[in-house]
Amino acid sequence: MPRIKRLKFDTFGHDCVVLHEIDIRRRRGAFSQLGKDARETFLEALTQIIADVPMTVVAVVIDKRRLAQRYATPYNPYHIGIQYGLERVRHFLQLQGQHEALTHIVCEARGAKEDADLELAFRRVCDGENRTRAAYPFNIVICDKKTNSEGLQLADLMARPVGLHILRPGQSNRAFETLAAKFFEGTTGIVNGNGLKVFP
């Protein structure tokens, strides 16, 4: 995305910085060099970019504590998340008439074993272990965050605000307010259960 590259150049003098939410929040790496004014300018510009980007958001929040409390032997939360996420992405694509086209789903790498487990769960969902028992023409792309993919970075920046909105609904959450109008609403015009799935 040209605007993200421009923001990186304007802020750091190059575009090699990876926008990782935890690094920004904890002022690590390149973000440790930003003074108060520069940091605020950067965050405001980044928020405006996210507000302006035409995108539809599908988010799945798995509350691991409630999952462990409710089920004696719960499924892997990442596998639950990938199933719910893919089902909703497929529904979105179906409404656009694009559900039969090959779609690449980019997932952040987490380690060799975790990546292999995630890919296996992904393939099972695409082979029909989903709510409609349909085959999904999706291809998984496991990408290290160091590859500097703007799409992956945007997803990372959105994850914490969405999770905090669910886990601490009374807490001020400016980032979530920016995203609120972007969630997939399905055919019902309702975000909950469509663009924002919470389990359990």
Tens digit of each residue's pLDDT (9 = 90 or more) over 14-63: 999 999 999 999 999 999 999 999 999 999 999 999 999 999 999 999 99
- Pair 70, 154 in one domain: yes
Q: How many residues does the chain have?
A: 200
Query: Residue 1 above 90 pLDDT?
Result: no
Dihedral sign for Cα 138, 93, 144, 108, please.
Answer: negative
- Pair 37, 64 in one domain: no
Domain count, the chain: 2
- Pair 122, 172 in one domain: yes
Distance CA 170, CA 177 (A): 13
**Predicted pLDDT at 126:** 98
- Pair 180, 106 in one domain: yes
The residues that bridge with 141 in the sheet, in sequence order, are 106
3-state secondary structure of 144: coil
- Pair 88, 21 in one domain: no
**Predicted pLDDT at 145:** 82
- Pair 88, 166 in one domain: yes
Average pLDDT, integer, range 163-184: 95
Query: Residue 146 above 90 pLDDT?
Result: no
**Predicted pLDDT at 93:** 98
Distance CA 58, CA 74 (A): 23
Can you give the residue range of the structural domain that contains 20?
2-52
